[in-house]
Amino acid sequence: MGKTIIISNRLPVQLQISNESITAIPSVGGLATGMKSVHSGGDSLWIGWSGLTDEEIPQELAPKIDEALAEHGSSKVKLTSAEVDGFYYGFSNRTIWPLFHYFLEYSEFELASWDIYKKVNQKFADAILEKATDDDTIWVHDYQLMLVPQMVREKRPDISIGFFLHIPFPSYEIFRTMPWRKEVLSGLLGADLIGFHTYDYERHFLSSVRRLLGLDVSFNDIYLDDRTIKVDSFPMGIDYKKFSDAAKEHAQRSEEQKSELQKRLDTHKKSTPDAKFFLSIDRLDYSKGIAKRLNAFEYFLNKYPQYKEKVRLIILAVPSRSNVPQYQLLKKEIDELVGRINGELSTVSWTPIWYFYRSMPFENLIDLYTTCDIAWLTPIRDGMNLVAKEYIATRTDKTGVLILSEMAGSANEMNESILINPNNFEQIADALNQAITMPKAEQQNRNSILQKRLERYNVEKWANDFMTSLRNQKEGNTTYVSRKLSVDLMNTITKDFGKSNKRLLFIDYDGTLAGFHNDPQKASPDAELYELLDQISNRENTDMYLISGRDKETFTKWFLPKKYNMIVEHGVWISQNGEEFRMLENVKKDWMEKIHPVLESFVDRTPGSFIEEKNYSLAWHYRNTDPDFGQKRATELNTVLTSLIANDDLSVLNGNKVMEIKSSNVNKGRAAMRIYAEDAYDFVFAIGDDWTDEFMFQELPESAVTIKVGRQKTQAKYYVDSIKNVRDLLKRFT
Ligand code: ADP
Ligand code: G6P
C-alpha cells in the first residue's frame, strides 16, 4: 500500500528565523491543529508552505529548513514574497475567505491575484507529482488549494485524490458572483471524494455544480465524463484524548508546577470566589464576531447590572493574516472597543475585559479552558469551530457551560450547548444569564452527552471515515449492479459477434450515440456517426435497429434515406429497409386531450420546460429548467398524473430530464421482443442510457448482451461510461 500525502498551505509548524537559527512554532487554526493528530509522520508526508518566503531564507540556512521540516514529516513548497502576496494575502484571503464566509462586501475580484493563485496551485500540484507514486493517496486541504486536484489528475489520471474544505461552502447565490467560479469547481472535481464539515455546505456545493456546470448529480454522486465523484459531509473532530488528558494532568499539578498564567487566574478566582469567567478564543478574524461579542457583553452588563464586578471576559485573539487590510481594521476596532468598554465600566477592583492579542502555548490554552466557567463563542460564520469542542473536552468534572453561535459548523453536533444567534443581543444577554445560573447538575448532564459524542467521533475517526470513503470510491463504485465493460469483455463480445450466424442489434439514440442538447432537434447525427452506422447496417446477417423515443418525423429526416431499420416513439412505429414508417402497435390517442392541459399548466409554472407532441405520446422536457426546481416539479407532475391516468391504459416514463406519457402497451422491450421473435437470432445486443431502455434489458433473453450507458442502477449486464465508449465498442462490429 502506498503512503498518504497530505497537502495544505499551512504545515503543522511555522518556521521562523532569528539570530541565524531556525525555530519551529506550532501552527494555529483548525486545519493544522486537527490534521497534526492524524499525521503520523511515518507513512504520511505533509507538503505545504514553511511560513517563510524565499527572500527570507538565507542560502546557508536552506538545508536546515528542510531538516527542520523533515523532523515533522513535512516537506516545503517554496514561495516568493510576491507569490505569498498574491496567493495567500491576495486571492485566498481577500477573495475566497470573505466570499465563502458571506462577507461579500470584503471580496475583491482581481485578475492578477487569480493568476497568481493558479500559478501557486500549480506549484503545489508539481510538488505532489514529484513525490507521489501511483499507489499513493493524495489528500488536499482547504480553500487555498482548490485547483490542485484537477492539476494532479491531469498528470496522474489513476491516482486517488481526496479534497476536504475546512471552511463553509456558500450558497449558489453567493458563489456565482465569483468571476472564476467554473474554474474553481472544475479544479475541485479532479478529486474522487470531496468532503465538507456539514450537509449544508455539501448541498450548496452540489447545487453550484449542477447549475454552473450542468453536470448530472444523483444523490451525492457527480458524473463527469467517465468518472464518478463522491461528495459527502464529515464533521471534523478533535484529538479528544490529548485535551482531556492534558486537563487531568493540569488538575493534579502542585503549586510550583503551575504556569504563571494559571497562578494569576487562581489568585483572581480566590479573591472573588463567586465571580464567573467567560472565555473566548479565536484567531483575530472578522468571521469570528469578536466586535459583536464585545458589544453584546456591554449590552449584557446593562441589562443585568447585578453582574457588574461579578463577571470577567477573557478574550484571547490570535494574530492572523495581518497584511490584509480588513484584519488591520478589525484589530484597530477591537483595541478601541476593549479600551472604551473597560474605560467606561472598570472600577478600582474590577476590569471587565482581559484582552490578549497573541498566540499561546498549548499548556496555557488548557489553563484557560479548565479555569473558565463559561466558553462564549460567537462566530458570524465558521466552517466548524474546534475551540468549542476543545473546551468541552477539557472539562474533566463535566462542569462548565458552552454558549455557541448557531452559525458555526460545530453547532450541528453540539445541540446540548446553549445555541445563540450572534446578531441577537437580547438572546445573548439572556443566554449569559442562563449560563451563570445554570445548576451544576444540568451542566454535567449536558456536558456528559457532548463529551461522549466528541470522544467517539474524534479527529482520528473523522480522518479514517474520510479515507475509507475515498478508498471505496476508488475501488470501484461497488454499488453498481452491472459490471464495467472491460477490454477483455469487449474482446469476448466481438468474438461472439463474429462467430454468430444471425445478429440483432438494438441501439438507442439520445444519450447513447449522441449527446444531449438543449434543443432536441440540434442533437443531429454527425458524419462520423453516419459512417459507423452505415458500416454496421451493411454487414451481412446483421439486423441493426435504432430504437428511440423520438418522433417519426425527425428520424425520417435523419435516417430514412440511409435505410436503417428504426423503431420510434418507444415502439409505436417501425421502418425497415428504408420503407415508410408503419404502426407496430395499435394505440389510442384520445387521452391526449385530457393530459395536454395538465402539462401546459406545468410549462406555465416551470420556466424553461416545454411539451413535445409526438403522434402517440406527450413528453414534458425539463432539461433547461433550474435543476432543483425542475426535479421538484417532475415529482409533483408524477403525483398528479398517477391519479389522473389511473383508469386509462397509460403509463408515465421518467426519462433523462423528460417525462413521457404514453399507452401502457407500448415500450421498447415489447417492440424489441416482437422483432426478436421474427427470426432465429443467435447474437442479440441492446444498448441504451435511459430508464426507457430498461424495458429492453429486462425483456430480451438472458443470452443477450445488454449495456447501460452511465452508472445509474440498471438491469443491463454491463455498463460503459460515455458516448465515446459506445462508439468505440460499435466500431468493433464494422
Ligand atoms: P479556525 O480554524 O478558524 O482558526 P478553529 O476554532 O476551528 O478556528 O480552530 C482554532 C484552532 O487553533 C484550535 O485548535 C485552537 O486550539 C488553536 N488555537 C486557537 N487559539 C490559539 C492560541 N492562542 N494559541 C495556540 N493555539 C490556538
Ligand atoms: C482556518 C483555515 C485554515 C487556516 C487557518 C489559519 O482554519 O481553514 O486553512 O490554516 O484558518 O489561518 P492561516 O491563514 O493562518 O493559515
One DSSP character per residue, 488-543 reads HHHHHHHHHHHH-SSEEEEE--BTTTB---SSGGG-PPPHHHHHHHHHHHTSTTEE
From edge to edge, which strands make up the β-sheet containing 565-568?
Answer: 483-484, 718-720, 705-709, 683-688, 503-507, 542-547, 565-568, 573-575, 582-583
Domains of the chain: 4-233 (3.40.50.2000), 240-456 (3.40.50.2000), 483-585+666-731 (3.40.50.1000), 592-662 (3.30.70.1020)
Among all bound ligands, the one having the nearest atom to the CA of 321 is: 2
The cell 473532530 sits on which residue? 237
Distance between CA atoms of 68 and 89, rounded to whole angstroms? Answer: 25
Say which of 508, 510, 689, 693 is annotated catalytic: 508
As beta bridge partners, residue 547 has 567
**Residue with CA nearest ligand 2 atom 12:** 29
The CA 513 to ligand 1 mean position distance, Å, reads 54
Of 380, 286, 278, the C-alpha closest to 333 is 286
φ, ψ of residue 682 in degrees (nearest 5): -115, 5
Pocket of ligand 1 contains residue 52 by CB under 6 Å: no
Distance 103 CA to ligand 1 centre (A): 21
- pLDDT reported for residue 42: 60
CA–CA separation, 315 vs 358, rounded Å?
10
DSSP state of 524: P
Ligand 2, atom 6: nearest CA belongs to which residue?
29
**What's 402's DSSP letter?**
E
| Cα 483 to Cα 607: distance, rounded to the nearest angstrom | 39
In contact, 124 and 116? CB cutoff 8 Å: no
Ligand number nearest CA of 379 is 1
Q: Quick one: which ligand is closest to 167's CA?
A: 2
Q: Mark whether 274 is an active-site residue.
A: no
pTM over 0.85: no
- Computed on alpha carbons and rounded to an integer, the radius of gyration of the chain in Å comes to 32
Ligand 2 centroid to Cα of residue 142, in Å, is: 9
Gap between the terminal Cα atoms of the chain: 43
Residue (of 313, 462, 451, 477) closest to 394 by Cα position? 451
Output the residue whose Cα is nearest ligand 2's atom 15.
Answer: 320
Instruction: Please tell me if the CB atom of residue 10 comes closer than 6 angstroms to any atom of ligand 2.
Output: yes
Mutation test residue for ligand 2: of 100, 145, 320, 381, the one with most atoms within 8 Å of CB: 320
Q: Is 390 in the pocket of ligand 1 (CB under 6 A)?
A: yes
Question: Is 315 a pocket residue for ligand 1 (Cβ < 6 Å)?
Answer: no
Cα 480 to ligand 2 centroid, rounded to whole Å: 39
pLDDT of residue 479: 42
Which residue's C-alpha cell is 433550474? 626
Residue 388 CA, closest ligand 1 atom number: 6
Task: For residues 594 and 599, give the distance between their C-alpha atoms in angstroms, rounded to a whole number.
Answer: 10
Distance from Cα 59 to the centre of ligand 1, integer Å: 33
Strand order in the sheet with 658-663: 610-613, 617-621, 658-663, 650-654
| Residue 25 CA to its chain's centroid (Å) | 32
Please give the Cα distance from 651 to 618 (Å, whole number): 11
Three-class SS state of 360: coil
The answer to whether 56 touches 99, Cβ cutoff 8 Å, is: no
**Rounded CA gap, 201 and 409, in Å?**
9
Return the DSSP state at 88.
I
Backbone angles phi, psi at 713, to 5 degrees: -55, 145
* Nearest protein Cα to ligand 2, atom 16: 10
Ligand 2 mutation pick, 49, 143, 166, max ligand atoms within 8 A of CB: 166
- As to burial, measured by CB atoms within 10 angstroms (0-12 exposed, 13-18 middle, 19+ buried), residue 372 is buried
Protein residue with least CA distance to atom 11, ligand 2: 29
pLDDT in tens, 306-320: 999 999 999 999 999
Give me the average pLDDT of each 10-residue run along the chain (734 residues).
92 91 89 83 86 93 92 95 98 98 98 98 98 94 98 95 98 98 98 95 94 85 85 94 97 97 95 94 98 98 97 97 96 98 96 96 97 98 98 98 97 95 98 98 97 93 92 66 85 96 97 88 93 96 96 96 96 95 87 91 88 90 89 91 82 88 88 95 96 91 95 88 95 94
707 φ, ψ (degrees, to nearest 5): -135, 130
> CA-CA distance, 472 to 397, in Å (whole number)?
40
Which residue has the least CA distance to atom 18 on ligand 1? Answer: 28
In this structure, the dihedral spanned by the alpha carbons of residues 640, 646, 652 and 658, taken in order and rounded to 10 degrees, is -20
- Predicted confidence at residue 605, as pLDDT, reads 84
pLDDT of residue 536: 97
**Cβ–Cβ < 8 Å for 290, 282:** yes
Does ligand 1 have an atom closer than 6 angstroms to the CB of 132? no
Q: How far is the CA of 396 from the centre of ligand 1 (A)?
A: 20
Beta carbons within 8 Å of 601's beta carbon, 6+ residues apart: none
**What order of strands is seen across the sheet that includes strand 193-196?**
74-76, 44-49, 4-10, 137-141, 160-164, 193-196, 227-233, 221-224, 216-218
CA 264 – ligand 2 centroid, Å: 30
> Does ligand 1 have an atom closer than 6 angstroms to the CB of 29?
yes
